[in-house]
A and B are shown apart, each in its own frame.
Chain A
Amino acid sequence: MIAKAYAAEDAGHGGGTGLPDPMHQFEIKRLIDLEIFGFDASFTNSALFMVIAALLVTVFTLFAMRKGALVPGRLQSTAELSYEFVANMVRDNVGTEGMKYFPFIFTLFMFVLALNMLGMVPYSFTVTSHIIVTFALAAFIFIAVTLLGFWKHGIKFLKFFVPSGVPFVMLPLLVVIEVISYLTRPVSLSVRLFANMMAGHTMLKVFGSFVVALGLLGGWAALAFMVAFTGLEILVAFLQAYVFAILTCIYLNDALHMH
């Protein structure tokens, strides 16, 4: 099964244009072959970078807070800033009772941020540029939040789908539309992160190949653009992690308070 997959991978190469393939960077490579009950569960470069991100976040917070000084140093300030940032986000969007879910939101934010930022390192792999990863995250959040809503409000949570002040005749139609609109949440949440990361990294690669193709004379313009665009990509990497976390907060708020 794995051998067949390898053959399919090899067939995908060799465009013959001479320019590097901008989608090549998103390729999944198997580092350790592993097959469990006929499923291909190999340890891939994607999995490797997820492990690196998780370790990085853990080591960063533990190492920065090792002293726990009253007057924080530079590194400790960074850790405290990230804590305050997420804590304020949860307080503003979910309220103080939402702080119960702070550990989850913080982990989610730091994990996605670490994955996005690791993607900005040359020769690294951007895990969040694969829709299956972002969709798995979003689907987990969606299911957890929905279950939480039913657990907190019981069957009354279904009232969330009934808009107020609507004539009785229109209700069946509007409830179906509201339910579909609710079901689009994991899709739009995951597609937003995935599309931003993939589009940005493809752009970087395409303009990178322009620098080489235009040579010593014309390459400078493309190079200047690359420098500016790299800055923008770092902003996008942060912003998308922030958007992902804040939307999770908003969905959590809907489940807890049913606006």
Chain B
Amino acid sequence: MGQALRLATEMVAGVAVGGFIGWALDQLFGTAPFLLVTFFILGAVAGIMNVVRTAKSMQGEPLPGEHLRRKVADDDDDDD
């Protein structure tokens, strides 16, 4: 339940924040409703991206901060 709720939160937060930014910019420039629609979709994209990232970290792919622990073993991370 906890993990599912976490993923749902990420998705909803993306859409909500995108929608809010669009709405605020619309108020600012008086371009309603075009920016709201645009940012709503961009927010949904960001939400899906967050969900994929969270799901990846749940599946045990390198967690944030993993590079710090690995540093001793292999410190040549960006010369392939």
Contacts and interface: CB of A to CB of B under 8 A. Distances in A.
Interface of A: 92-95, 176-178, 180-181, 183-184, 187-188, 191-192, 195-196, 236, 239, 249-250, 253-254, 257, 259
B80 to A, nearest CB: 12
18 contacts: A95-B65, A95-B68, A176-B42, A177-B45, A178-B46, A180-B14, A180-B17, A180-B42, A181-B14, A184-B46, A184-B50, A187-B13, A188-B9, A191-B13, A239-B2, A249-B65, A253-B64, A254-B64
A245 to B, nearest CB: 14
Contact of B46 (A92, A177, A236, A249): A177
Contact of B39 (A94, A180, A181): A180
A116 B68 CA distance: 31
B37 interface: no
Given A92-B69, A177-B42, A250 B17 contact: no
Interface in B35-80: 39, 42-43, 45-47, 49-50, 64-65, 67-69
Contacts of B65: 92-95, 249-250, 253
A95 B66 CA distance: 10
Interface residues of B, number: 25
A195 B67 contact: no
Nearest to A164: B78
A192 B17 CA distance: 15
A257 B68 CA distance: 10
A152 to B, nearest CB: 16
Contacts, number: 69
The prevalent SS among residues of B at the interface is helix
Contacts of A196: 2, 5
Interface in B1-24: 2, 5-6, 9-10, 12-14, 16-18, 21
Given A92-B69, A191-B9, A183 B17 contact: yes
Contacts of A249: 65
Interface of B: 2, 5-6, 9-10, 12-14, 16-18, 21, 39, 42-43, 45-47, 49-50, 64-65, 67-69
Given A180-B39, A195-B9, A259 B64 contact: yes
Contacts of A239: 2
A248 to B, nearest CB: 12
Contacts of A178: 46
B45 A192 contact: no
B45 A184 contact: no
Contacts of B12: 191
Contacts of A181: 14, 46-47, 49-50
Given A92-B69, A191-B12, A180 B64 contact: no
Nearest to A178: B46
A94 B63 CA distance: 12
A193 B68 CA distance: 28
Nearest to B45: A177
Given A181-B47, A257-B68, 4 more contacts: A180-B18, A181-B49, A184-B17, A188-B9
